[in-house]
């Protein structure tokens, strides 16, 4: 009788230990899954954007703060459209008197949206002479700002509608359309810094 009772206690202890080990492994597995496997926002390494950002910082020391975009080398600033708050405005100087603009959302569409000139969703150029006519763009200022007249334009083709041969094959992606409109609205707020 005593042996049977000790045997039952030993079996009970083994069952309890097995249950505790299973619970511990389950808890550790859950913690591992939560911290390492189930990331809610995956980190994507995008070498192109890092290069663009470094080039932008190194050449112009321009800033895009919460609601302002400033081109220090031109001495102008813009009020960023609220619809661009959830994306990064990307821009690059194309010579002394021209900048091209796009957004990270448009570039994420891939294909032609990452290439020049179609990846350059909006172009801003400046000139000391007031243009007589602007057939493919819009004059932003009737009087010089910092001695320049500024023209806003965009490529004729939409990058999200082109294939690799630059043939129109798709309907324009609404992301490109809305971000292009928001970039246009932002750049139309041009003012001296």
In total, how many domains does the chain have? 2
Task: Walk across the sheet containing 76-79 and list its strands.
Answer: 63-64, 68-71, 76-79, 191-192
- % of the chain residues with pLDDT over 70: 73
Q: Residue 114 sits in which domain range? A: 47-192
Length of the chain equals: 193
Same domain, 92 and 129: yes
Same domain, 35 and 118: no
Residues 135, 193 contacting (CB under 8 angstroms)? no
Q: Which helix (H) or strand (E) holds 101?
A: strand 98-103
State the residue for tokens 């409109």: 181
Same domain, 3 and 67: no
CA distance 183 to 78: 10
Q: What is the pLDDT of residue 43?
A: 39
- Low-confidence residues in the chain, pLDDT < 50: 39-65
Same domain, 107 and 120: yes
């Amino acid at each position: 009788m005593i042996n049977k009772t000790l045997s039952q206690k030993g079996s009970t202890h083994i069952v309890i230990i097995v249950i505790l080990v299973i619970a511990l492994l389950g808890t550790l597995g859950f913690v591992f899954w939560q911290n390492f496997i189930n990331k809610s926002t995956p980190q994507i390494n995008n070498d192109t954007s890092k290069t663009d950002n470094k080039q932008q910082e190194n050449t112009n020391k321009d800033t895009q703060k919460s609601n302002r975009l400033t081109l220090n080398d031109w001495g102008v600033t813009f009020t960023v459209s609220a619809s661009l708050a959830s994306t990064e405005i990307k821009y690059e100087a194309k010579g002394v008197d021209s900048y091209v603009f796009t957004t990270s959302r448009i570039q994420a569409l891939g294909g032609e949206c990452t290439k020049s000139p179609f990846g350059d969703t909006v172009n801003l150029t400046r000139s000391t002479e007031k243009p007589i006519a602007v057939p493919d763009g819009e004059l932003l200022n009737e009087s010089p700002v910092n001695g320049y007249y500024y023209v806003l334009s965009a490529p004729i083709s939409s990058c999200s509608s082109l294939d690799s041969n630059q043939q129109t094959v798709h309907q324009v992606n609404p992301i490109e359309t809305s971000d292009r409109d928001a970039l246009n609205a932002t750049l139309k707020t041009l003012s001296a810094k």
